[in-house]
A = this chain, B = another copy of it.
Amino acid sequence: MTERDVRALQQRLADFAEARDWQPYHTPKNLASALSVEAAELVEIFQWLTPEQSAKVMDDPKFAHRVTDEVADVLAYLLQLCEVLGIDALEALAAKIDRNEQRFPVGSAEPKIPRRHSAE
């Protein structure tokens, strides 16, 4: 399980970049851009699919591989960004869920779409 631990992965990514002298490229600004580029590659897989086709994307091994690969790339840049900024991603997410539980109470009348379009 060590292999799969977030901190261990973050360390492997840092060692990987250091061994290749890539740190000068890894400014927070560049890592945020790289993250958004990988997120777009994920979007690209789905861009012409109907909602129904998108729900079955893992049934096709070629699509499944591509999606899994892009997920890994997004996570890699997210963890590298957190590393250079000293952010604990899991703690940030736990705190955000706490806030969202206040912000969107269960059983409130409004559905997701109108709320998001008015509030954001």
B32 near A48 (CB under 8 angstroms)? Answer: no
Q: Which label, helix, strand, loop or mixed, suits the secondary structure of the A interface?
A: helix
A33 vs B88: C-alpha distance when bound (angstroms): 24
A27→B55 contact, CB < 8 A: yes
Closest to A108 in B: B20
Q: Among B47, B71, B76, B117, point to the contact of A87 (Cβ < 8 A).
A: B71
Nearest-Cβ distance from residue A46 to partner chain B, whole angstroms:
4
- Identify which of A63, A75, A106 gathers the most chain B CB atoms within 10 Å of its CB: A75
B106 contacts A19, CB within 8 Å? Answer: yes
Chain B, residue nearest A51 (CB): B27
How many of A's residues come within 8 Å of B, CB to CB?
A: 79
The residues of A with any CB-CB pair to B shorter than 8 Å are 3-6, 9, 12-13, 16, 19-22, 25, 27-30, 32-37, 39-51, 54-55, 57-58, 62-63, 67-69, 71-76, 78-79, 81-82, 84-97, 100-101, 104, 106, 111-113, 116-117, 120
Q: 9 closest A-B pairs (Cβ-Cβ)?
A: A40-B40, A29-B54, A72-B96, A36-B39, A29-B46, A72-B92, A39-B39, A4-B90, A27-B51
